[in-house]
Amino acid sequence: MSATPQRLVLASTSSYRSELLRRIVADFETCAAAVDEAMHGEEMPLLAAVRLAREKARAGARQHPGCWVIGSDQLADLDGTPLGKPGSIERAHAQLRQCSGRTVAFHTAVCVADGTGGPPVFREAVDTTRVVFRVLDAAEISRYLAIERPLDCAGSFKVERLGVALSERVESNDPTALIGLPLIALCHLLRESGMSIP
């Protein structure tokens, strides 16, 4: 597909990220960024989130040369142990049992590949939100999972819906980060890349 400069592409098929991006930009495209999301050895969750965001932006930039491309990734971090998307009710239940009564750091990384002036220039940022979970019993977890089915959410935590009821408090610099795209950081990166953001 041929590309022209000044187009913005979100390298994600996530409906959460698309909804967030629409808050600041009306016109953009999306594409699937097929990257291997496996952890690299003893890689820390924060570093893995940044690496995966960069890899997604790079994959999107290969598909859409001459554009601004956004890649993003989020990992939940329980004392250095990564909690990714559970994929099944059983794994989600196990994740939330682990999180019960504990503090989980959600690292949300974003990378902008600026290909508008030639080979892409990559700019990235990461926002960390800390969620203090209530002590959860099995029945609460099961009810939450039956209603929300957060199988595509890092750590099985869907803060924009019923997940907020699982927490004691949320410590954040950017309320959009926990949903999946840190808009404050993204606005800075897009401005640095030459895009006009109000």
Known active-site residue 79: no
The number of beta carbons lying within 10 Å of the beta carbon of residue 131 is 24
The CA radius of gyration of the chain, in Å to the nearest whole number, is: 17
Q: Give the E-state strand segments of the chain in sequence order.
A: 8-10, 29-30, 68-78, 81-83, 103-114, 121-133, 167-171
| Sequence-distant (≥ 6) Cβ neighbours of residue 133 within 8 angstroms | 96, 99, 100, 101, 102, 103, 104, 166, 167, 168
Q: Which of 27, 73, 79, 137 is catalytic?
A: 73
| Sequence-distant (≥ 6) Cβ neighbours of residue 111 within 8 angstroms | 50, 53, 54, 56, 57, 70, 71, 72, 122, 123, 124, 189
- Reduce the DSSP state of residue 84 to 3 states and report it: coil
Say if residues 141 and 148 touch (Cβ distance below 8 Å): no
Q: Active-site positions?
A: 73
